[in-house]
Amino acid sequence: MTKRLLLTTDFSKNSWNAIQYAIKLYENQNCDFYILNTYTKDTHGLNNYTLLDPDESFNKLMEKRSMQGLGDTMVRLTFENNNANHRFHTLSRSNVFLDAVKEVVENMRIDMIIMGAKGMTNERQGKYGKNTLAVIENVRKCPVLIVPRKVTFNRPEEIVLATNYGSDFNVGEIKYLAEIAKMINAKIQVLSLANDGYLTSLQKKNKLRLQKFLKDIDDNGKILHNGKSLGKLNSFVETKHSNIISYIAKKPSFWKKLGFGKPTTLGKLGYYENIPVLALHG
């Protein structure tokens, strides 16, 4: 079955590294890769997610830059990748980034989004970019794989699913996690961040559901570790640089959308420079 993967790019080293990671991760799969670039005007006092300037000459200039960048990307892919199972499609959109991603995910029936941890203009140390966080929180129809720039591809031997069982699981996305594990012959290690002796009824239900969803994975690949804390997660992954960390991204609350409330789960997990993070949606 053909996979349909969305790769976002601002032509930075970060986004190119994510594209290369996606290609290598899915090297044995039949895939359509959709490479998306968006452009909007950087106006006074605002960032480049604002509305387009109606001036036609400006729009044409930005469109030309976008198309040229995508063309250069295609040329580079042609020279560096000769996988007959892979097809590449470029998409240039004169739209705010998040809206464009939502539109492509819906219209192209995207299975997964793969993107860099931050963009060209975001150099904040130890922080994910605004675009990355916006996609995880607002595009909830498919998983999102985040690839930091310092990640070099080593076929993952384990995928760590960190959870406190507090969020309901999206059956489709957990099955997709299992499918990825089978595809790359990796084990799934479920790292519990909850105290098993004090699980609520909801946590107990979700734990049983998760075990059921992963029943097709080899028994050696679903060992339950009791981490109890994010510190234990950090210790667990420090020596496993080929891992992928996955977690359940909760739907943001009304107050969170307004900028209030507790940090996101991704924010609590922290920033990993050498490990991709897979956001699943509950």
Tokens encoding 246: 């996955």
pLDDT tens digits, 148-202: 988 888 888 888 888 888 877 777 888 888 888 888 888 888 887 777 677 888 8
How high does pLDDT run on average in the chain? 80
pLDDT tens digits, 248-261: 887 754 434 434 44
Contact between 85 and 94 under an 8 Å Cβ cutoff? The reply is no
Where are the domain boundaries for CATH 3.40.50.620 in the chain?
3-147, 158-281
Give, in order, the Cα–Cα distances in Å from 149 to each of 96, 99, 128: 24, 25, 11
- Whether 274 shows a pLDDT value over 90: the answer reads no
Strand partners, 126: none
- Whether 133 shows a pLDDT value over 60: the answer reads yes
CA 47 to CA 147: how far, in whole Å? Answer: 23
Fold designation for 3-147: Rossmann fold (3.40.50)
pLDDT tens digits, 257-273: 434 444 455 656 677 78
- At the top level of CATH, the class of 158-281 is alpha beta
Strand partners, 278: 145, 246
CA 170 to CA 189: how far, in whole Å? Answer: 18
pLDDT tens digits, 97-106: 999 999 999 9
pLDDT tens digits, 84-118: 999 999 999 999 999 999 999 999 999 999 999 98
CA 185 to CA 20: how far, in whole Å? Answer: 20
CA 58 to CA 42: how far, in whole Å? Answer: 11
Give the largest Cα separation in the chain, rounded.
65
Report CA Rg, the chain.
Answer: 19
